[in-house]
Structure 1
């Protein structure tokens, strides 16, 4: 657990947890805690039992905001994309009048990126801290969206150039993750809408207007992932079409080869019959003449097929 006194964006570490209970003359306290720290923090700050239970739960938490006496409990999801899989990490936030507590199970990149933003903006209140944190979380969705778009473009190009059976698994896997992510974006957008519109005593009225900008970004992200979902459907159709074209191409080659060998097979069948009277049967060097004729016939048909672009 790390305790910091924040004043005008300047961090001052402290280890006196009892001092945090009293509102400071200036600034506020930020407590960056682990799950185990909630045992100490809950009785000190009178954190609601259900909120603490949600933090400790092994199940994936839905983004939400709960209003309790003296504090708000907010859950938002940070996103991470490792080229193969999309990860969502819950960020649990307890917002008080003079403090803010962040509780995470894993490391959240946005918390590390937040410090220079707080210093630059000279943040002096916990509600402004919350605003900049949510803003960073939402902005990261755009970054992940761009990487997903690049992956879709590369996958599409690879399918059109070299179709493989593994491409179908990639399409299904990525589409499933996008659909799963879409389900999360809805509740998260509702949380931001609540921060934007609802009368919340612990958030300054002037600051609430800034949440409208974050809400607009959240709507854009949701619409962007709708587009990605449609692109994945188009990509699957392109995969099926590419497979069909490839199968047709193979069948065309096989058909052309069969057509070329049909007259050759007929000739060899005729001269393979056990009759004494077959034209050219007793001709001197007749076998070479026949082989030459068959070669001329096969190459001639091959040339005609190539000229007509059948091969």
Structure 2
């Protein structure tokens, strides 16, 4: 799916079917390639002399980066979404690569899937957003990247909600489902960390004025996106600490539960230890044992064993072993 539009403050917005004609038109040219196959990506790249390695990076889903080429700058970021399953804690961070090529008077966005951020800014251009129409392609690229990064906060909000649920579940249950939920959140945070860190480095290149295609007055907008990414990285590290804390609480709860069981079993074994000794003594096959000839010997031994058990049980309760 390839669409091309040319816009400016004076000429408004005009749609083109011919990519070469759109490139030569006056104003800012934006070519949006979304939900596309390899042939469509190659066709757009050929029309704007974009290096084939750019298409390779978008298709092969490499790590985010910013790379300057002759006449344009290529920035690869990833659109992220927290995709939920049927279960409460069944979720996964779904990331789709988005390539943004910024030229002198054109911008090309490349994606193999539908990208919400690109669609939102495209709709704003079609509605005649004055800020977009009055500024160049570097500002359009900034708006796309800004929306992509804003969606990261939505993902982290979902992760935070799950961590809060897990913390409540840890205190109520030590089932295997709780441990699986903790591992799921930790896995999501690890995947998101691998996405956020290189994205921050990629945006820093655009924010510090190293790119010719980004005007000086637009750099402050990229710096704002970079600062948002710094906050995203900090939140990821904070939530990873919370997930580790939830795992530690879970393990401590399981250990405490096991200790309680072992304590009860130990008390029971200790109660039967002297009783077993008495039963063993009177179970010896000696002919001359005075108590064996006593008429009430059996009842006396049983009563003595019961009293011994009661005394020991009272002692254990007094010492708070039970």
TM superposition score category, shorter chain reference: 0.7 to 0.9
Distance change (3 Å), C-alpha of 1:290 and 1:180: same
Question: Which residue among 198, 223, 234 is the counterpart of 1:187?
Answer: 198
Distance change (3 Å), C-alpha of 1:147 and 1:306: farther
Question: Which residue among 195, 214, 233 is the counterpart of 1:203?
Answer: 214
Give the aligned partner of residue 218 of structure 1: 229
Give the aligned partner of residue 21 of structure 1: 23
Question: Which residue among 39, 48, 55 is the counterpart of 1:45?
Answer: 48
Deviates more, 1:38-47 or 1:264-273: 264-273
Equivalents in 2 of 1:294, 1:84: separation in Å? 59
Instruction: Say whether residues 1:62 and 2:63 are aligned partners.
Output: yes
Equivalents in 2 of 1:308, 1:91: separation in Å? 67
Give the aligned partner of residue 164 of structure 2: 153
Q: Contact 2:160 / 2:239 at 8 angstroms: preserved in 1?
A: yes
Give the aligned partner of residue 267 of structure 2: 256
The Cα shift of 1:30 comes to 3.3
Equivalents in 2 of 1:7, 1:46: separation in Å? 21
**Normalising to structure 1: TM-score of the pair?**
0.81
Instruction: Say whether residues 1:278 and 2:291 are aligned partners.
Output: yes
- Report the 3-state secondary structure (helix = DSSP H, G, I; strand = E; otherwise coil) of the residue aligned with 1:85: strand
Distance change (3 Å), C-alpha of 1:281 and 1:113: farther
The Cα shift of 1:116 comes to 5.4
The Cα shift of 1:253 comes to 1.0
Equivalents in 2 of 1:281, 1:267: separation in Å? 16
The Cα shift of 1:216 comes to 0.9
Distance change (3 Å), C-alpha of 1:8 and 1:155: farther
**Normalising to structure 2: TM-score of the pair?**
0.78
CA RMSD across the alignment: 3.3
The Cα shift of 1:46 comes to 1.3
Question: Which residue among 241, 249, 256 is the counterpart of 1:245?
Answer: 256
Deviates more, 1:240-249 or 1:159-168: 159-168
The Cα shift of 1:302 comes to 4.1
The number of aligned residues is 306
The Cα shift of 1:232 comes to 3.6
Instruction: Say whether residues 1:234 and 2:235 are aligned partners.
Output: no
Q: Deviations over 1:231-269 (max 9, x none)?
A: 344344334333332222221111111122234434544
Gapped regions of structure 2 (runs ≥ 5): 84-89
Query: Mapping of 1:70-81 within 5 angstroms?
Result: 70-81=71-82
Deviates more, 1:248-257 or 1:181-190: 181-190
- Report the 3-state secondary structure (helix = DSSP H, G, I; strand = E; otherwise coil) of the residue aligned with 1:278: helix
Distance change (3 Å), C-alpha of 1:137 and 1:165: same
- Report the 3-state secondary structure (helix = DSSP H, G, I; strand = E; otherwise coil) of the residue aligned with 1:67: strand
Q: Contact 1:23 / 1:98 at 8 angstroms: preserved in 2?
A: no
Distance change (3 Å), C-alpha of 1:267 and 1:37: same
- Report the 3-state secondary structure (helix = DSSP H, G, I; strand = E; otherwise coil) of the residue aligned with 2:291: coil
